[in-house]
Structure 1
């Protein structure tokens, strides 16, 4: 198996519990960790057996910027499911999403949600 991490992708999305969050939008910072079924890429050196970071970025961007969710965990699950649906050689996808602007009355850096999706 191989693992590839793409860290701190930034997108503008419209997610949140409150309607104004889903209307005004904000920045989201996303990490994706992909685990493949095997390490075939080490033998073939072919992108179809590995992970193409540019293609992953495009899928994460599409889900984050073109859908709306109330919960970060739901967004993370949809990202993981989209990647597993597209790439049959992925075993698991872990997505971490950081949301810096949250309606909490106190100083914080961000709220983070993590979701791992695995092939059934």
Structure 2
């Protein structure tokens, strides 16, 4: 079974970037998280204890984006993925981070990094 919970387009203000001014001034970051788990028990019981609590996921993402500083989106995504994998019954997680204010010449909407982590050995 390949069930999925998605939290889409979460927005947080964080201080991440290669350049010092990015880590000082900060900016908005947009994130999506896909969590793969077996939702059959929750579908039958209709109890939050049998699923992944969305508010817990949101809180973990918010804490890492807003209270830590990373040079690379790859590092931020890895920390978020590893944190979510610690939740009970998560088999896989994919984190997408979009950074709209990218210090590069040329027109671009954003840079996006996607990180996937798994509990499968």
TM category (shorter chain) comes to over 0.9
User: Residue 60 of structure 2: SS of its match in structure 1?
Assistant: helix
**Pair 1:45-2:37 in alignment:** no
Mind listing any 5+ residue stretches in structure 1 that lack a counterpart?
Answer: none
**Residues matched between the structures, number:** 119
Corresponding position of 2:100:
100
Task: Please identify runs of 4+ aligned residues in structure 1 that moved more than 4 A.
Answer: none
1:43-98 CA distance string (max 9 Å, x none):
2222122122222111110010011111111111111111111x120111100000
**C-alpha displacement at 1:39, in angstroms?**
2.7
| Structural RMSD (CA) | 1.3
TM-score (norm 2): 0.92
Q: Alpha-carbon deviation of 1:41? A: 1.5
Contact 2:15 2:25 in 1 (8 A): yes
Q: Quick one: distance in 2 between partners of 1:90 and 1:44? A: 18
Give the equivalent residue in structure 2 for 1:7. 8
Instruction: Tell me how far 1:38 sits from its aligned partner.
Output: 5.5
SS at match of 1:74: helix
